[in-house]
Amino acid sequence: MRDRHHAAGPFRISWPPSTRLYRLFAFPAAPATGCIHSVRSYHNLFTTLQTLTSRLSNSLFLLSLTAIGIASCLSAPGASAAAQPPYDIHAASWMLVDGESGQVLVEHNADAERQPASLTKLMTAYIALDALKRGSVRWDEKVAVDAPDIGEVGGDEARMYLVPGQHVPVRDLVQGLIAASANDAALVLARRVGGSPAGFEQLMNDTARKLGMAHTHFSTPSGTTTPGNYSTARDLSTLALRLTKDLPEYYTFSSEQHFAYGKFEKRNKNWLLGKDPSVDGMKTGHTQAAGYCIVATAKRKQSSPPMMRRVFAVVLGAPTANDRITGAGSLLNYAFSAYKDYPLTDDARHHVVTRVAEPKLVQTSSP
């Protein structure tokens, strides 16, 4: 009968069938007199005991090697078993992504389609900044504010208090859009870049498809609760990564803690900007339908191997403003403490992989 094999890492163990186990422990048959009475019988007994001892020793040795191999695999860098993620994330869905490798580190309900509130303005900013990059709009250009642009803005919505007939520089509109989450700025920019609200909506959805945001549809540039305006934590992380890669000037505005225009002043609601110096964006949002939402990012220096790392946290549907800030901050800190980035070169192609960081050894002093 052939041996059964079990793979354990680099080792293979041969497990004897029950019949072989029987033979392993079988002793020479005793004579009819009930005693061993010949030198040959003593020799046979001695030989059998030698064989038994050898087999048991080999089996124990292989089992010891297997245990060592399994333990080393589980403790090696890059093992699939990551450290436990933060437990204090109170939100409907969330995701943590490494910005250098693009790897998802942890996620919860990341493909649930939800109202994104003012996180919609990440796409509005992407399209406006892309138009500026291509030259179809200029930073110093002054845009006339039409009454229909601001007529849709409710009194309880975030705004920079534009009035009909004003001519506002594009730079001020972009700053108000990102730092103050101003809905009136979003509507004015949408008409200027898209030609009309409908034209800008088409641009938003075309861009979403181009970026691979498969579970997203936009129906407003501002993010007010509107039928057909939805996204997911996964799609918003995709947008955050592309916004960072394609249009890094976004951070010039998202890193500002305060915004002022005329007599209007407002503090950026991404409170992580004042708590963590490594955080430099990206956007917050809130409506009754969406709950409290945030896409937050931080950039920190990694000592070994030496490099700069950026990570992104997306939190959707938190019950309070404090929950979204606490949740995003915990996710960012977890990414930097539990994972490390490693630059690699394969076939002359440079890329980065993210692996579980080696556990730090804690030394204790003797009393």
pLDDT for 55 equals: 53
User: What structural domains and CATH numbers belong to the chain?
Assistant: 93-356 (3.40.710.10)
> 118, 231, 254, 330: which one is catalytic?
118
Burial class (CB in 10 A: 0-12, 13-18, 19+), 102: middle
Contacts of 60 (CB under 8 A, 6+ apart): none
Helix axes 183-194, 197-211, angle to 10 degrees: 90
Compute the mean pLDDT over every residue in the chain, rounded to the nearest whole number. 82
User: Mean per-residue pLDDT for 46-74?
Assistant: 46
User: Mean per-residue pLDDT for 143-170?
Assistant: 91
pLDDT for 137 equals: 97
Cα separations in angstroms, 245 against 14, 28, 126, 238, 240: 53, 78, 11, 11, 9
Residue 181 annotated as catalytic: yes
pLDDT for 345 equals: 77
Task: Give residue-wise pLDDT tens across range 19-38.
Answer: 333 333 344 444 444 433 44
Question: Residue 280 pLDDT > 50, yes or no?
Answer: yes
pLDDT for 39 equals: 39
pTM here is: 0.76
Residue 121 annotated as catalytic: yes
266 is in an annotated binding site: no
Greatest Cα pair distance, the chain, in angstroms, is: 122
Contacts of 280 (CB under 8 A, 6+ apart): 251, 254, 255, 273, 297, 298, 299
Task: Kindly list the strands in the beta sheet with 279-287, ordered across the sheet, starting from the edge strand earlier in the chain.
Answer: 104-108, 93-98, 307-318, 291-302, 279-287
CA distance 351 to 242: 16
Question: Residue 78 pLDDT > 50, yes or no?
Answer: no
pLDDT for 50 equals: 55
Which range, of 46-50, 96-100, 178-182, 340-344, averages the lowest pLDDT? 46-50
Task: Give residue-wise pLDDT tens across range 216-243.
Answer: 999 999 999 999 999 999 999 999 999 9
Higher per-residue confidence, 271 vs 346: 271
Higher per-residue confidence, 36 vs 166: 166
% of the chain at pLDDT higher than 70? 74
User: Mean per-residue pLDDT for 232-261?
Assistant: 97
Question: Residue 253 pLDDT > 70, yes or no?
Answer: yes
- SS3 of residue 55 by DSSP: helix
pLDDT for 351 equals: 80
The values of phi and psi at residue 279, to 5°, are -85, 130
CA distance 167 to 171: 12
The values of phi and psi at residue 280, to 5°, are -135, 20
User: Mean per-residue pLDDT for 36-65?
Assistant: 47
Structure tokens at 117: 């509130």
User: Mean per-residue pLDDT for 148-171?
Assistant: 91
Question: Residue 176 pLDDT > 80, yes or no?
Answer: yes
* CB atoms near residue 272 (< 10 Å): 24
pLDDT for 51 equals: 55
> 93, 101, 121, 237: which one is catalytic?
121
pLDDT for 19 equals: 38
> 93, 181, 231, 254: which one is catalytic?
181
Which range, of 15-19, 123-127, 171-175, averages the lowest pLDDT? 15-19
Question: Residue 71 pLDDT > 50, yes or no?
Answer: no
The one-letter code for the residue type at 39 is V
Residue 275 annotated as catalytic: no
Task: Give residue-wise pLDDT tens across range 335-352.
Answer: 999 999 998 877 767 789
Question: Residue 69 pLDDT > 70, yes or no?
Answer: no
Higher per-residue confidence, 6 vs 146: 146
The values of phi and psi at residue 301, to 5°, are -85, 130
